[in-house]
Chain A
């Protein structure tokens, strides 16, 4: 933006105000307070405080980014002004919050928040000064980090991130490895009761620095360009070997982790299956489906109705018998939904599918179908699957179910991607009209995408039903669709490894960090916006899609905004 320009006072203050809005936002939305219980560094720094520190730091960093090499000092100076403004805005909140009861309107402007903003100071005046000066100092720090040589800068950033991540992970590590003998000394060394010990801070910081330096070194070394040529047979052996190894690892993983982490993995896994399914619809074929949860619900309800032994019992099949029906019914539902929306493109499709999803939910909730699917009370007592004497009853055993499900689904998705139909999907995504002109049967291709995606969701729903042991219509609201959409977007539209990463980030992390639960959708929303603005191809992008999304510049403006629906412009 203002890369080559000398910064002006106006820019600095503007930046400071943006930082101020950020600190106000995290404070008033309640994040500061919610995260204040989690210590990053024992007795010293909480995650809530960190949230307050970040905006001035970032403001200083950006301020320094805007100045070029000749104006270093002024960069730091302007940065400090921005930080000062940010701090002053926060101080204003403190003063205002102490003087009048903001709580009548802002529910989170509580005495506890004011207490956090005092930063342990006795009097308001001192606390105000601390906030203002602290803001300025933090942004000077941010500016200094930005202006230091790249190697040092990335080392510092990596060290700091390592400290933050290890600080957040304390509880998780404890839950997972708490009982193990080998872990206790590590825990004692790194952590105090709450948060990292100073020793732990130093060690993790150095670890982060080391990782960054090592990466810098290996990046500067020229890459080996020798292509290893293995014989086909050996490749095959390697493949089989790694497959067997992976299978064994998966087999012992839940036993190793224990029930709680396995439960989380199962939740993540269910989302992975859905993600891979939606990835076919959205990622491969480019059809934005916001009602995806409907198929998930159908899969779960079919299993529920067919297997339940509760008051709504019908045929009381075993789960295994009900599973193919669940998948089949979902698949048919996919086709049925697919037929009417065949002629629709882009945003209209998104809204129609959203409508379908809501219709299914409203109907499931209503009294109309209550005798069959239980209305708001749902279906209880869905039995666990069983092979011989082996019952999949605990999270550790359900995990195998989930893992097999992911395996099948990922295999199918991989094979489909490179098959004829996969290429047809991709063509469809790029340009429907051209694809049709090339002889692709739009009807079949689209329906196949919908059907495959729906079948995967049905499978996921079937596993979900038995995992939970009961089905409630509230589990199937729009938020599930949005979650799945977010995770494939974060991971990278069209990329299967991306789905895994996205699911771990968006489903796994919030499960681990309870305080996040309340702010989960807030963050997803922000994440969707930020990803689309900054990195629309996702973290693990698929090649062609990335190319498609980044060549924005040379696209003809007019052809881009051609209306999909016949729109009348007489307004």
Chain B
């Protein structure tokens, strides 16, 4: 009996399950401690969750870019965080210009849409140029080669934008119309957060529609399924790949503008951490899976927002909020170790191999 069990699971599996069990125990213990201490009221928890949803929807929008590209090329576009940064950082200059003329607060909707247009234009251009220069010539090279290229491109873009726009942190102008909060069904929601959540849901639905129903989206899915067969069916594979990068860039730019609405501050290095977190979200939902990436993003956002107060506080760790990023990275590591196919992912490795 025992021998059979040991045969089924080797030592590394056992070690991993042990680590998993210890972590789970810590999480449960920490949450129990916090909840039983009654340090935070129900309203505070609700605020945490809503904030988590808002930042999670930003992660989700960035994650779409990772997932789309991975679905087609099986490569991690490590520079995607910089695609996200480039648009937002550039649109900042339009925003302060509009703010200085007073237009920003007179017509907030038009202004934000204008900023969005600029951000989308820049991010999409960067994404497409990146694909053309850095990734296309390496299609078919050993796996590590495009990854290293992507890492290089990521740093190149970070420091390029630092050189272009300066190294200081820039602050987006406030949108007066979005100050304060709305009371929806008795729940106080900050207006910015509500707008971000709603807008990103709309965008995600639109994207889902595009991929599922339009001709271009169908071509994309065909290429993801089988490049050669798609090419034989008359689909221009290169073009579809460019489309994919452009789509990912555009959704990252939208995420960037929302990020600017919530966090206000932008700089050349702002893309890196959200990029990694969005990648985590993509993996969480099963990379290559569009709805999965959305759910993964929301889930990660909430965990990151709740985690420090819920778990770490209970474990008696001082200043738990400092470890917010560590929680996200820990999630990444755990997901990749225990369930690399993601929460929603079904195992299709057999079919692909």
In the bound complex, CA of A159 to CA of B160 (Å):
31
Q: A339-B16, A521-B158 are contacts. A567–B71 as well, Cβ < 8 Å?
A: yes
Q: Is the CB of A106 within 8 A of B322?
A: no
State which of B26-34, B148-156, B299-307 sits at the interface with chain A.
Answer: B148-156
B170 to chain A, nearest CB (A): 11
Q: Is A340 an interface residue (CB 8 A)?
A: yes
B166 to chain A, nearest CB (A): 4
Q: Is A438 an interface residue (CB 8 A)?
A: no
Q: Which residues of A contact B141 (CB under 8 A)?
A: 532, 536, 549, 552, 560
In the bound complex, CA of A29 to CA of B167 (Å):
11
Q: Is A286 an interface residue (CB 8 A)?
A: yes
| Smallest Cβ-Cβ distance to A522: which chain B residue | B159
Produce 1/0 per residue, A346-384, CB < 8 A to B: 111011101110110011011110000000000000000
Q: Is B336 an interface residue (CB 8 A)?
A: yes
Q: Is B238 an interface residue (CB 8 A)?
A: no
State which of B40-48, B49-57, B196-204, B325-333 sits at the interface with chain A.
Answer: B325-333
Produce 1/0 per residue, B341-353, CB < 8 A to A: 1100111110011
Partner of B138, one of A105, A347, A533, A570: A533
Q: A359-B330, A363-B326, A563-B74 are contacts. A569–B224 as well, Cβ < 8 Å?
A: yes
Q: Is the CB of A30 within 8 A of B163?
A: yes
Q: Is B232 an interface residue (CB 8 A)?
A: no
Q: Is B186 an interface residue (CB 8 A)?
A: no
| Smallest Cβ-Cβ distance to A376: which chain B residue | B322
Complex interface residues of chain A between 548 and 571 (CB less than 8 A to chain B): 548-549, 552, 555, 557-558, 560-571
| Smallest Cβ-Cβ distance to B326: which chain A residue | A362
Partner of A532, one of B12, B138, B348: B138
Q: Is B67 an interface residue (CB 8 A)?
A: yes
In the bound complex, CA of A565 to CA of B339 (Å):
10
In the bound complex, CA of A211 to CA of B280 (Å):
53
| Smallest Cβ-Cβ distance to B130: which chain A residue | A529
In the bound complex, CA of A346 to CA of B346 (Å):
21
Q: Which residues of A contact B286 (CB under 8 A)?
A: 567-568
Q: Which residues of B contact A566 (CB under 8 A)?
A: 340-341, 345, 347-349, 352
In the bound complex, CA of A31 to CA of B164 (Å):
10
Partner of B323, one of A347, A355, A363: A363
Partner of B290, one of A340, A524, A549, A571: A571
Q: Which residues of B contact A344 (CB under 8 A)?
A: 336-337, 340
Q: Is A443 an interface residue (CB 8 A)?
A: yes
Q: Is the CB of A106 within 8 A of B165?
A: yes
| Smallest Cβ-Cβ distance to B75: which chain A residue | A347
Q: Is the CB of A355 within 8 A of B276?
A: yes
Q: Is the CB of B211 within 8 A of A525?
A: no
Q: A355-B332, A522-B155, A571-B220 are contacts. A288–B348 as well, Cβ < 8 Å?
A: no
Q: Is the CB of B323 within 8 A of A108?
A: no
In the bound complex, CA of A348 to CA of B228 (Å):
26
Q: A342-B12, A529-B156 are contacts. A489–B148 as well, Cβ < 8 Å?
A: yes
Q: Which residues of A contact B349 (CB under 8 A)?
A: 563, 565-567
In the bound complex, CA of A536 to CA of B111 (Å):
46
Q: Is the CB of A443 within 8 A of B288?
A: no
A56 to chain B, nearest CB (A): 20
Q: A367-B319, A532-B138 are contacts. A567–B287 as well, Cβ < 8 Å?
A: yes
In the bound complex, CA of A555 to CA of B337 (Å):
30
Q: Which residues of B contact A347 (CB under 8 A)?
A: 75-76, 143-144, 147
Q: Is the CB of A366 within 8 A of B329?
A: no
Q: Is A468 an interface residue (CB 8 A)?
A: no
Q: Is the CB of B156 within 8 A of A536?
A: no
Q: Is B113 an interface residue (CB 8 A)?
A: no
Q: Which residues of B contact A356 (CB under 8 A)?
A: 329, 333
Q: Is the CB of A525 within 8 A of B159?
A: yes
Partner of A106, one of B134, B145, B164, B289: B164
Q: Which residues of B contact A286 (CB under 8 A)?
A: 144
| Smallest Cβ-Cβ distance to A536: which chain B residue | B145
Q: Which residues of A contact B19 (CB under 8 A)?
A: 340
Q: Which residues of A contact B333 (CB under 8 A)?
A: 340, 352, 355-356, 359
Q: Is A199 an interface residue (CB 8 A)?
A: no
Produce 1/0 per residue, A265-297, CB < 8 A to B: 000000000000000000000101010000000
Q: Is A248 an interface residue (CB 8 A)?
A: no
A353 to chain B, nearest CB (A): 9
Q: Is A28 an interface residue (CB 8 A)?
A: yes
Q: Is the CB of A529 within 8 A of B134?
A: yes
Q: Is B234 an interface residue (CB 8 A)?
A: no
Q: Is the CB of B71 within 8 A of A571?
A: yes
Q: Which residues of A contact B158 (CB under 8 A)?
A: 521, 525
Q: Is A528 an interface residue (CB 8 A)?
A: yes
Q: Is the CB of B140 within 8 A of A561?
A: yes
Partner of B152, one of A29, A342, A519, A529: A529
Q: Which residues of A contact B292 (CB under 8 A)?
A: 568
Produce 1/0 per residue, A462-485, CB < 8 A to B: 000000000000000000001001
A438 to chain B, nearest CB (A): 19
Q: Is B264 an interface residue (CB 8 A)?
A: no
Partner of B149, one of A290, A524, A533: A533
Q: Is the CB of A485 within 8 A of B148?
A: yes
Partner of B142, one of A29, A355, A358, A549: A549
Q: Which residues of A contact B289 (CB under 8 A)?
A: 568, 570-571
B159 to chain A, nearest CB (A): 4
Q: Which residues of B contact A521 (CB under 8 A)?
A: 155, 158-159
Q: A368-B317, A529-B134, A571-B211 are contacts. A362–B71 as well, Cβ < 8 Å?
A: no
A44 to chain B, nearest CB (A): 27
In the bound complex, CA of A108 to CA of B270 (Å):
20
B227 to chain A, nearest CB (A): 8
Q: Is B180 an interface residue (CB 8 A)?
A: no
Q: Is the CB of A366 within 8 A of B145?
A: no
In the bound complex, CA of A536 to CA of B152 (Å):
13
Q: Is the CB of A525 within 8 A of B224?
A: no
In the bound complex, CA of A265 to CA of B119 (Å):
44
Q: Is the CB of B143 within 8 A of A340?
A: no
Residues of B within 8 A of A (CB): 10-12, 15-16, 19, 67-68, 70-71, 73-76, 93, 133-134, 137-138, 140-149, 151-160, 163-166, 211, 220-221, 224-225, 227-228, 276, 279, 283, 286-290, 292, 317-319, 322-323, 325-326, 329-330, 332-333, 336-337, 340-342, 345-349, 352-353
- Excluding A351-B336, A560-B143, A564-B74, 19 further A-B contacts by CB distance (< 8 Å) are A31-B163, A351-B76, A362-B329, A367-B322, A368-B323, A519-B163, A522-B159, A524-B155, A525-B152, A525-B153, A525-B156, A526-B152, A529-B152, A533-B137, A563-B352, A568-B286, A569-B225, A571-B224, A571-B289
Which A-B residue pairs are the 9 nearest by beta carbons? A528-B152, A525-B156, A29-B163, A525-B155, A566-B349, A107-B166, A522-B159, A355-B329, A367-B319
24 contacts between A and B (CB under 8 A): A28-B163, A29-B160, A29-B163, A105-B165, A339-B12, A347-B144, A352-B333, A362-B322, A363-B326, A518-B163, A522-B163, A524-B155, A525-B154, A528-B152, A532-B138, A532-B146, A552-B140, A560-B140, A560-B143, A565-B283, A565-B340, A566-B345, A568-B341, A569-B224
Residues of A within 8 A of B (CB): 25, 28-31, 104-108, 286, 288, 290, 339-344, 346-348, 350-352, 354-356, 358-359, 362-363, 365-368, 443, 482, 485-486, 489, 518-519, 521-522, 524-529, 532-533, 536, 548-549, 552, 555, 557-558, 560-571
